């Protein structure tokens, strides 16, 4: 079983829609959680860290449920420029190596 599982999608949504991505992780000792964004044929870039209390950055809201080992990302008022692959990331036992999910593909259409 992979350490980080995500629904690969694709998610096709119209501009202005709200879309939610989920992921689960298997290592209950994990301490750090992130969402990365990866555009086609580009490198991953940190979108936001995920904190136990939940956190928001503009149109993006991330939630963490440690009991269920579940992480979510909500995007409100989707823009065409949000089209990308969203990678759920959890740190490994080492604390420095990152474990990535396969990514969820989002396409926002006009």
Partner 1 sequence: GAGVSQTPSNKVTEKGKYVELRCDPISGHTALYWYRQSLGQGPEFLIYFQGTGAADDSGLPNDRFFAVRPEGSVSTLKIQRTERGDSAVYLCASSTGPAYEQFFGPGTRLTVL
* Contact residues for partner 1, defined by CB under 8 A: 4, 8, 32, 42-46, 87, 89, 91-92, 94-103
Residue whose CB is less far from partner 1, 5 or 17: 5
Percentages helix, strand, coil for the chain (3-state, rounded to 5) are 5, 55, 45
Residue whose CB is less far from partner 1, 17 or 99: 99
Q: What is the DSSP letter of 56?
A: E
For 48, residues 6+ apart whose C-beta sits below 8 A from its C-beta are 34, 35, 55, 57, 60, 62
Residue whose CB is less far from partner 1, 60 or 100: 100
Task: Report how far residue 104's alpha carbon sits from residue 23's, in angstroms, rounded to the nearest whole number.
Answer: 9
Closest approach of partner 1 to the CB of residue 99, in Å: 7
Closest approach of partner 1 to the CB of residue 4, in Å: 7
Closest approach of partner 1 to the CB of residue 58, in Å: 19
């Amino acid at each position: 079983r992979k350490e980080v599982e995500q629904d690969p999608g694709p998610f096709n949504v119209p501009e202005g829609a709200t879309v939610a991505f989920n992921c689960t992780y298997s290592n209950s000792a994990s301490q750090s959680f992130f969402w990365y964004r990866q555009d086609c044929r580009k490198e991953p870039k940190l979108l936001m860290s995920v904190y136990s209390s939940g956190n928001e950055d503009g149109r993006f809201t991330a939630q963490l449920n440690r009991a269920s080992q579940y992480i979510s990302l909500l995007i409100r008022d989707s823009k065409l420029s949000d089209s990308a692959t969203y990678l759920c990331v959890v740190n490994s036992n080492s604390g420095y190596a990152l474990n990535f999910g396969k990514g969820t593909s989002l396409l926002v259409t006009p």
